[in-house]
């Protein structure tokens, strides 16, 4: 700020001084001035001769003049504007006004935009599209940079050999993974995804769910001892189905998982099922290799507490929650984890039975770290802190209580 | 960077721009600062001229910012010029520009122009409530009350919520005006406040009072007062409406609560139906008049409180039902079995599953027992209120809660009963009297607190 001021003064001095001196000489504006100090000079700045004065409204002329031809064009076009085109124009104006609006918007997105029920919903949707566009652009730029770099390096080395080797290797790995999963489909432990939450979710949430399931399926495929994945309550032509096809394309038919529209209670014996839900009052102690765990495939952005617990209660199933409190010092965020995190945790538990290793997959931002001491000791210290904090007040309450109580006794 | 105090020449702007860290956003940052510092408009003009001369064009966002500066300083002719330029340059304008234009013009003598702009906005989107507010204020300021009310009704029809400011403007500007129609409209506003359980603040209350007293030939007199606990107004000895719901409202509320709150989308979410059923039949057996409820937090304190509360209420010969969870039956340091036994002699107990929500039972049991039944909890039951689907039922719920919930103040004393209000705290009229509760300050901190101060207006 200050440097700018100094600079400003410098500019004024350097530009005005010679000019003022010149005119002063001619028009006798400064009879005394051969030794001008800065401050009168600044004052003089405004009272220059009118011909030299800034034309403050010059910009209006510029704006009005340059566009006469265009105006005539736009007037003729203006007659009929469909709702879509009008929306598109508004978006364009918002973009010009500097709001976060995507540059390009497809017909479909425009329709979704217009169907948004409220102004804030519209704003949110636009922002989402805008960010998506930015990410896409960034990715594209990075890809191009990478390609250029690769072209440089490849030209130096022998390209054909390295390429075919990679190809072969990837192919082999794919085959090996497939063998493993095929094996698990016969002998492996089942893991059920409950696909009955479609009506509890928005379209975006369903899309996110499917994305998470795709991630979990891939990490299951890569693991040493995969689960046999079941999609239960899966309806054909549901939103889930459409999203899956969007992700897998033709591979959807070849996936090594079991998809059924039956409920898990029809497929498996009821006493073996355990529904995993963060709302469960029971905490999982160990991973049981004989049980069949159910994970609700639901992304719950608006925290609808107890939806999956209700489902388990209705069917009379056992429920369990991960022992997050027991092993982690929880910081912030909801206790429900994403499906792929869940899958990682379950796979690790299955392989090692080590809670600490498994709970490494809980996002770091959600907790402070692992609990080092036994929990009851920690709780004791917590209680101590609380009583220290509240100590005085509690004492007061107790006294007051005693007083009141005795008074009431004497009254009656 | 600080905006300069005087208009600068092109080369001076250039030099400033080069000295700025990121020259591409220099103009934007400069304009933002000008708006913030409320710089003279000439400086902004000189910058615009500089931009126009160097680029041959001024970007839309700069025009908007310049417009904001003009609106801030009330430069009507400039606002007009900018509007003309925008009209020529762009096919349509967006909401931000319209907001500024309407705000700027409604404060000037060309306020009718703002109305035409409002019409323009309507073609492309639903105008915001501030747009309406500016126009309404402008119209009522120029004594065009009919026009103002027309806009007001249009706004309500579009589900926009007017601010207290606008409502106050109606009262301010129609002071001393005659007309039965006008009077009816203003009474309509008061009824709107009543229906939505909105309380005016002190200055708004004063406007209402002054308006009433200024009605020619009306002979209205207003007094500030507070209502007695019995619900009688000390000024006019009028008995306020009681807080009981009508039979129809009560049945309606009960059905809605059972449907939306207890069953909700899924009965299993709050409880399980078997337990609910067992509970239903239980409730029908006891005609309970008072309910106690336990919260799981602050267990020890609560336990002492519970004991105290049960004793205290039992002495008043009330039928008690205490809702708890099964874990309370297990003898522990927090829940002593002997004391539980003693309490069970004085009150009926119901223990729900440990994982079901006891609030839902509380609501259900109280509603099933009838209109006379009250309940004790320090929970505000907000999450249950939120489950109700429409605002009308929510208002009924609030009213019922005000009349039937006995809350306790913690810490000061273990059990000071805060009695349920006997009268309904809402704007009310009998034709020749009005009673208007008001808030002391503009922003009352707690939404659950009802005002204790009233404005009593009576016709002599």
d(CA A201, CA A212) in angstroms, rounded, equals 14
Instruction: From chain A, pick out residues whose CB is under 8 angstroms from the CB of B413.
Output: 400-401, 404
Tokens of A279: 């709302």
Q: Is the dihedral of CA B440, B446, B452, B458 positive or negative?
A: positive
Kindly identify which residue of chain B lies nearest to residue A64, measuring between CA atoms. Answer: B85
pLDDT digits over B145-177, tens only?
Answer: 999 999 999 999 998 999 999 999 999 998 888
Interface of A with B in 103-122 (CB under 8 A): 119
Tell me the shortest Cα–Cα distance from B174 to chain A, in angstroms. 33
- A56 at interface of B, judged by CB pairs closer than 8 A: yes
**Nearest beta carbon to residue A15 from set B12, B57, B272:** B12
Residue A64 pLDDT more than 80? Answer: no
Is residue A19 assigned to a domain?
A: no
Strands B417-418 and B405-408, by their bridges, are: antiparallel
- A367 at interface of B, judged by CB pairs closer than 8 A: no
Kindly list the structural domains of chain B, giving each domain's residue range(s) and its CATH number in brackets, ordered by start. Answer: 163-242+421-459 (1.25.40.10), 247-402 (3.40.50.11980)
Instruction: Classify burial at A310, counting beta carbons within 10 Å of its beta carbon; exposed 0-12, middle 13-18, buried 19 or more.
Output: buried
- A9 at interface of B, judged by CB pairs closer than 8 A: no
Helix (H, G, I), strand (E, B) or coil at B342: helix
- A83 at interface of B, judged by CB pairs closer than 8 A: no
**Nearest beta carbon to residue A90 from set B64, B124, B270:** B124
Interface of A with B in 301-360 (CB under 8 A): 305-307, 309-311, 313-314
Angle between helices B247-256 and B358-369 in degrees, nearest 10: 150
Size of interface A-B (CB pairs under 8 A): 145
Is residue A262 assigned to a domain?
A: yes
- Interface confidence (ipTM) of the complex: 0.76
- A78 at interface of B, judged by CB pairs closer than 8 A: yes
pLDDT digits over B74-111, tens only?
Answer: 888 889 888 888 888 888 888 889 999 999 999 888 89
Is residue A277 assigned to a domain?
A: yes
B139, B147 contact by CB (below 8 A): yes
A181, A221 contact by CB (below 8 A): yes
Residue B262 pLDDT more than 90? Answer: no
Residue A380 pLDDT more than 50? Answer: yes
Is residue A80 assigned to a domain?
A: no
Domain extent, residue A270, equals 188-321+339-350
pLDDT digits over A235-258, tens only?
Answer: 988 899 999 999 898 888 888 999
Is residue A74 assigned to a domain?
A: no
> For tokens 């690769």, what's the residue?
A150
A308, B268 contact by CB (below 8 A): no
CA-to-CA dists, residue A7 to A10, A54, B9, angstroms:
5, 21, 15
Cβ contact A90–B7 (<8 Å)? no
Tokens of B175: 């002071």
Cα B220 versus chain centre, distance: 29
Is residue A49 assigned to a domain?
A: no
Q: What is the pLDDT of residue A12?
A: 45
Cβ contact A59–B49 (<8 Å)? yes
What total of structural domains would you count in chain A? 1
B242, B231 contact by CB (below 8 A): yes
- Cα three-residue angle A284-A288-A291, rounded to 5 degrees: 105
Cβ contact A54–B9 (<8 Å)? yes
d(CA A213, CA A298) in angstroms, rounded, equals 10
Is residue A253 assigned to a domain?
A: yes
Write down the pTM of the prediction: 0.72
> What confidence tier does B186 reach under pLDDT thresholds 50, 70, 90?
very high
Cβ contact B92–A86 (<8 Å)? yes
Is residue A328 assigned to a domain?
A: no
pLDDT digits over B288-311, tens only?
Answer: 555 565 544 334 445 566 677 777
Instruction: From chain A, pick out residues whose CB is under 8 angstroms from the CB of B312.
Output: 408
Cβ contact B49–A396 (<8 Å)? no
d(CA B399, CA B424) in angstroms, rounded, equals 7
Instruction: From chain B, pick out residues whose CB is under 8 angstroms from the CB of A78.
Output: 91
Tell me the shortest Cα–Cα distance from A186 to chain B, in angstroms. 35
CATH number at residue A278: 3.40.1280.30
């Amino acid at each position: 700020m200050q440097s700018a001021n100094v600079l400003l003064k410098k500019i004024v001095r350097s530009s005005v001084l010679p000019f003022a001196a010149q005119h002063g000489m001619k028009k006798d504006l400064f009879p005394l001035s051969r030794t001008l100090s800065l401050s009168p000079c600044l004052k003089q700045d405004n009272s220059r001769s009118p011909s030299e004065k800034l034309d403050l409204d010059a910009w209006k002329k510029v704006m009005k003049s340059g566009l006469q031809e265009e105006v005539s064009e736009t007037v003729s076009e203006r007659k009929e504007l469909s709702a879509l085109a009008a929306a598109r124009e508004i978006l364009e104006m918002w973009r010009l006004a500097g709001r976060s609006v995507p540059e390009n918007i497809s017909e479909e997105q425009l329709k979704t935009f217009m169907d948004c029920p409220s102004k804030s919903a519209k704003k949110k949707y636009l922002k989402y599209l805008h960010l998506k566009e930015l990410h896409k652009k960034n990715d594209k730029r990075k890809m191009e940079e990478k390609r250029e770099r690769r072209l440089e390096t490849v030209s130096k080395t022998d390209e054909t050999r390295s390429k075919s080797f990679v190809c072969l290797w990837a192919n082999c790995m794919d085959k090996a993974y497939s063998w493993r999963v095929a094996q698990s489909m016969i002998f492996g432990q089942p893991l059920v995804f409950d696909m009955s939450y479609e009506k509890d979710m928005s379209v975006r949430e369903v899309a996110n769910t499917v994305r998470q399931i795709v991630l979990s399926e891939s990490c299951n495929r890569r693991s040493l001892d995969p689960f046999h994945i079941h999609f239960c309550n899966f309806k054909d032509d549901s939103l889930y189905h459409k999203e899956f096809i969007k992700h897998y394309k033709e591979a959807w038919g070849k996936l090594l998982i079991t998809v059924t529209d039956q409920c898990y209670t029809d497929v498996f014996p009821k006493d073996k099922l355990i529904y995993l839900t963060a709302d469960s009052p029971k905490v999982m102690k160990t991973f049981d290799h004989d049980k069949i765990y159910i994970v609700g495939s639901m992304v719950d952005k608006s925290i609808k507490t107890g939806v999956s617990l209700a489902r388990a209660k209705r069917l009379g199933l056992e429920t369990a929650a991960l022992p997050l409190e027991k092993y982690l010092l929880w910081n912030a965020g909801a206790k429900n984890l994403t499906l792929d995190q869940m899958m990682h945790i379950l796979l690790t538990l299955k392989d090692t039975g080590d809670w600490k290793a498994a709970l490494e997959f809980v996002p770091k931002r959600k907790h402070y770290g692992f609990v080092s001491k036994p929990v009851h000791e920690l709780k004791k210290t917590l209680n101590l802190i609380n009583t220290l904090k509240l100590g005085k007040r509690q004492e007061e309450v107790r006294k007051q209580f005693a007083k009141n109580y005795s008074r009431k006794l004497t009254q009656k | 960077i600080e905006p300069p105090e005087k208009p600068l020449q092109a080369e001076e702007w250039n030099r400033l721009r080069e000295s700025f860290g990121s020259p591409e956003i220099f103009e934007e940052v400069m304009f933002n600062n000008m708006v913030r510092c409320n710089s003279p408009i000439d400086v902004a003009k000189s910058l615009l001229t500089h931009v126009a001369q160097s680029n041959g064009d001024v970007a839309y966002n700069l025009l908007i910012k310049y417009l904001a500066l003009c609106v801030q300083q009330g430069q009507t002719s400039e606002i007009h010029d900018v509007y003309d330029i925008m009209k020529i340059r762009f096919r349509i304008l967006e909401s931000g520009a319209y907001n500024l234009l309407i705000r700027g013009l409604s404060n000037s003598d060309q306020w009718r122009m703002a109305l035409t702009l409002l019409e323009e906005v309507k073609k492309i989107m639903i105008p915001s409530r501030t747009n309406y507010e500016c126009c309404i204020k402008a119209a009522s300021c120029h004594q065009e009350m009919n026009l103002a009310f027309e806009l007001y009704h249009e706004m309500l029809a579009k589900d926009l919520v007017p601010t207290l400011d606008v409502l106050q403007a109606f009262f301010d500007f129609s002071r001393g005006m005659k007309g039965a129609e006008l009077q009816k409209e203003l009474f309509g506003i008061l009824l709107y406040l009543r229906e939505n359980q909105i309380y005016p603040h002190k200055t708004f209350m004063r406007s209402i009072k002054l308006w009433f007293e200024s009605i020619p030939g009306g002979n209205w007199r207003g007094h500030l007062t507070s209502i007695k606990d019995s619900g009688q107004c000390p000024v006019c000895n009028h008995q306020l409406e009681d807080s009981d719901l009508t039979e129809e409202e009560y049945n309606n509320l009960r059905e809605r609560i059972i449907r939306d709150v207890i069953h909700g989308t899924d009965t299993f979410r709050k409880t399980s139906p078997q337990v609910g059923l067992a509970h239903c039949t239980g409730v029908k057996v006891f005609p309970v008049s008072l309910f106690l409820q336990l919260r799981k937090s602050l267990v020890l304190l609560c336990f002492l409180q519970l004991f105290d509360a049960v004793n205290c209420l039992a002495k008043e010969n009330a039928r008690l039902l205490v809702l708890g969870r099964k874990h309370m039956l297990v003898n522990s340091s927090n829940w002593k079995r002997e004391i539980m036994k003693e309490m069970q002699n004085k009150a009926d107990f119901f223990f729900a599953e440990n994982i079901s929500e006891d609030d839902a039972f509380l609501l259900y049991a109280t509603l099933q027992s009838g209109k006379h039944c009250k309940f004790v909890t320090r929970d505000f039951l907000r999450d249950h209120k939120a489950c109700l689907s429409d605002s009308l039922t929510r208002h009924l719920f609030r009213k019922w809660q005000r009349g039937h919930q006995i809350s306790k103040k913690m810490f000061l004393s273990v059990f000071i009963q805060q009695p349920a209000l006997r009268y309904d705290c809402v704007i009310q009229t009998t034709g020749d009297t009005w009673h208007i509760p008001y808030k002391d300050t503009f922003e009352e901190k707690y939404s659950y607190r009802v005002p204790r101060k009233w404005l009593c207006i009576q016709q002599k």
